[in-house]
């Protein structure tokens, strides 16, 4: 699947973008694309990495617009974060002290709960994604996700959460350390992009980060996320 290619219409649909917007990006050379016999070709592996990095860097206004687009295409999963997060995949006291140990410990958490078919490949893909650009955002959070989304690696789509005992240097754009880690494993690529947008919206438009840091248990963290997501969905 990572070697699949898209034409212009297919890429626009896959990325939740209007064709005109994608054409503008191509003209401005803002997205990786090739020309083969006067036809535009988008390689899935390249635009996956481009799309996830773009979402993490969207301005609040553009993020809101993009989130509305992805939400309109996933009406059957309105509370997508709530659906994918379970208390048993939340560690309120993650012991990790380095970036590498965060990745290993978060993968181990998902593997212990039976969510991974191939934990080695999943971890390797996480490492490859971090080599492209850190998935850490400002405000002390990181949205960990693999470079490629191969269905054979995960049993079901999920979101795991780790709250580090000691904040970790993770390459955040504001230079601060990171203490909240969301591990995203999706079998469906379009769902993955929607989850990224939804988590970014939660972090920017609700008090969920402060509340997660103050929560006393995994169950409390899951409940906090549900209330925050319900708040965001009401505003769509």
pLDDT in tens, 168-198: 999 999 999 999 999 999 988 788 889 999 9
φ and ψ at residue 97, rounded to 5 degrees: -125, -10
Sign of dihedral through CA atoms 126, 85, 56, 28?
positive
> How distant, in Å, are the alpha carbons of 38, 55, 63, 208, 212 from that of 48?
23, 11, 17, 27, 29
Q: What is the pLDDT of residue 164?
A: 98
Rg, C-alpha atoms of the chain: 17
Q: What is the pLDDT of residue 3?
A: 59
Interior/surface letters 50-87, b for 16+ CB within 10 angstroms, e for the rest = bbbebbbebeeeebbebbebbbeebeebeebbbebbbe
Domain annotation for the chain: domains and CATH numbers: 5-56 (no CATH), 75-234 (3.40.930.10)
> Following CA atoms 26, 73, 159, 141 in sequence, which dihedral angle do they give, to the nearest 10 degrees?
50
| DSSP classification of residue 234 | H
Q: What is the pTM of this model?
A: 0.87
Give the pairing of strands 85-94 and 39-43: unpaired
Closest CA to 129 of 42, 48, 201: 48
* DSSP string over 198-218: HHHHHHHHSSHHHHHHH-SSH
Looking from the CA of 85 toward its CB, the CA atoms found within 13 Å total: 26
CB-based contact 232:202 (threshold 8 Å) = yes
Closest CA to 104 of 93, 113, 95: 95
With a cut of 50, which residues of the chain have pLDDT below it? 1
Q: What is the pLDDT of residue 171?
A: 95
């Amino acid at each position: 699947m990572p070697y699949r290619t898209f034409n212009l219409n297919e890429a626009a649909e896959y990325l939740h973008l209007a064709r005109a917007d994608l054409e503008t990006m191509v003209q401005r050379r803002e997205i990786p694309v090739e020309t083969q016999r006067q036809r535009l070709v988008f390689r899935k592996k390249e635009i996956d990495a481009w799309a996830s990095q773009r979402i993490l860097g969207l301005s609040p206004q553009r993020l809101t617009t993009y989130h509305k687009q992805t939400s309109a295409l996933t009406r059957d999963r309105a509370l997508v974060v709530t659906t994918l997060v379970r208390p048993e995949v939340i560690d309120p006291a993650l012991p990790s002290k380095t970036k590498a140990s965060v990745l290993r410990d978060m993968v181990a958490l998902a593997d212990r709960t039976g969510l991974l078919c191939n934990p080695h490949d999943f971890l390797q893909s996480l490492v490859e994604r971090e080599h492209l650009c850190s998935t850490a955002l400002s405000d002390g959070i990181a949205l960990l996700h693999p470079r490629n989304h191969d269905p054979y690696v995960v049993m079901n789509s999920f979101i795991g959460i780790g709250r580090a005992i000691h904040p970790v240097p993770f390459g955040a754009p504001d230079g601060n350390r990171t203490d909240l880690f969301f591990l995203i494993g999706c079998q469906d690529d379009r769902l993955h992009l929607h989850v990224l947008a939804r988590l970014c919206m939660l972090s920017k438009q609700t008090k969920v980060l402060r509340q997660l840091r103050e929560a006393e248990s995994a169950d409390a963290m899951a409940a906090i996320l549900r209330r925050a997501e319900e708040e965001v969905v009401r505003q769509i």
